[in-house]
Each structure stands twice: as structure tokens, then as C-alpha cells.
Amino acid sequence: MIRLGVNIDHIATLRQARYRGAPTAATPEPDPLTAAQVCLEAGAHSLTVHLREDRRHIQDDDVLKIAGRFRTQLNLEMAATPAMLDFALKVRPAEVCLVPENRAEVTTEGGLDAHGQAQILRPILQKLREAGILVSLFIDPDAKQIEASISLQAPVVELHTGRFADAGEKDRPNELNRLIQAAKQAHQKQIQVNAGHGLRLSNLSSLLSVPHLHTLNIGHSLVSHALTVGLKASVSAFLQAMQKS
């Protein structure tokens, strides 16, 4: 069975739209910690939070609170920087996913350049591994990036599914094939294959033809769906769609 990881950044985005810079006496809502508990109770297998440099949504305190309750289910997305490495070693989540980060972007626009940044990534991966943290690299479904991940001894890759999700009917088969080939290449080297970005109920059935998928990390679409059906029902709907594989 493919596992579901819920990205709860968007819960914090809604909170920050109202309470960013608000007095400490305020009770900010919605609360990412409460959302995390609801998602796990509904059957989600893990929680993803992206602590960005500009702190546009998830805050340091959110990560600390979630780790305090759900450390073994926590996947921390972060840039490969010394400051974020120090924070991760302090928090010690179950998993860290290294992602590219650009302050100007609305959301992560592409995969990490594991090939071009190998010298930067290698010591960070080593320190995270030594701390007992499972490390994944968020990369495009590209043979060169898979080979770099193998060279870096990354135990997990998360394939960026954005181009597949955004592709039109004509281009989607090609983007799907790229994901299939990347998943096979990683699996042959015993690398765990996760996937995420732009996934929604309407494209899950196509994506599930990709072999060797372990975890799908889904955020925006699941939270958007929850606005009309509720968070528990939204998690359940995505789990049911995934089980059709």
C-alpha cells in the first residue's frame, strides 16, 4: 500500500494571512498542530512541513510543537543551508527532505540540483544520517539527478511531479514516462521512491501507474478539498484513491 504524507504548510498559510505580526495575546487559527492530529487520526501516515527561510507559513514553533507530539511521523522539508541543518539536528524529525528554495517563488518550482550541488549536499547528508534522520532529496525525474542521488548515498528520493501535474493531455504521457523510468532507476539501486507536488484526486489514477512508489506527499489540493468536505473526509478521499493502485 502506498503511504500518504500530508503537507500542512497550507494550514499555516491561512493562519498567517490573518495573524502574521498579530499581538501575542491573540489565539491564531487554524492551528497546524491540531490539523496534524486530525490528519493522522484520519489515516495519514506522515506529516510534512516546510520551514522556509522567510517563514512565510510554518514557523519554528510549529515544527517544535509538531515534533514534540509526532516526531516519528514528521518529515521536515528544508533548504540545504547551515542554519537549517542546525535546526534539524536540534529537532531531530524522523525524516528530512532537502529541497531547493527561492524566496521569490510561490511554491517549490523544481527539483534540487543534486548533480550540481553534490559538494554542498554531501556533508549535510552525512550529518543528518549520523543523527539517525532519514534523508530524502526532492529531485526532478531525471537520470542525471538519480545518479547523483545514488552517488550521495541518499536512501530516499522524492520525485517532483509538478511537470506531470501541469502537463496537458498531449504532454502528460511523456511526463508520466519520465517518472516511471526515474522510479525504476532509483529502485534498482534500492533507493526508496516518494513523489509529490501538484498531486490531486483528478490525476492520482494516472500517477499510480508509476512503479515502486512508497509515499505520496500531498498538500495544497488536499487542504483545498478539506475546505468543502472537512479535513478528515479529505484525507480519507485521498487514501481511498491511492488504494485503487
pLDDT, one tens digit per residue, over 36-55 is 999 999 999 999 999 999 99
pLDDT at 102: 65
Among all chains, which residue has been given the C-alpha cell 525524516? 95
> pTM here?
0.93
User: What are the pLDDT digits (tens) for 182-231?
Assistant: 999 999 999 999 999 999 999 999 999 999 999 999 999 999 999 999 99
> Where residue 27 falls among pLDDT bands split at 50, 70, 90?
confident
Answer positive or negative: Cα dihedral of 169, 144, 3, 49. negative
* pLDDT at residue number 20: 82
Give tens-digit pLDDT for 170-186.
999 999 999 999 999 99
Residue-wise pLDDT tens digits, 78-137: 999 999 999 999 999 999 999 997 655 545 567 999 999 999 999 999 999 999 999 999
CA distance 46 to 40: 7
- Rounded to 5°, angle at Cα 218 from 194 and 189: 5
Cα distances (angstroms) measured from residue 91 to each of 1, 51, 59: 29, 12, 13
pLDDT of residue 228: 96
- Domain 3-243 fold: TIM Barrel (3.20.20)
| Banded model confidence at residue 245, pLDDT cuts 50, 70, 90 | low
DSSP-based three-state secondary structure for 35: helix
Distance of CA 115 to the CA centre of its chain: 20
* 3-class secondary-structure state, position 31: coil
pLDDT of residue 106: 45
The neighbouring-strand residues paired with 171 are none
Q: How far is CA 34 from the centre of its chain?
A: 19
The structural domains of the chain, with segments of one domain joined by +, span 3-243
Neighbours of 188 (CB within 10 A): 11
Mean pLDDT taken over the chain = 94
How would you classify residue 190: left for phi > 0, otherwise alpha for psi between -120 and 50, otherwise beta? left
Residues involved in catalysis: 50, 77, 197
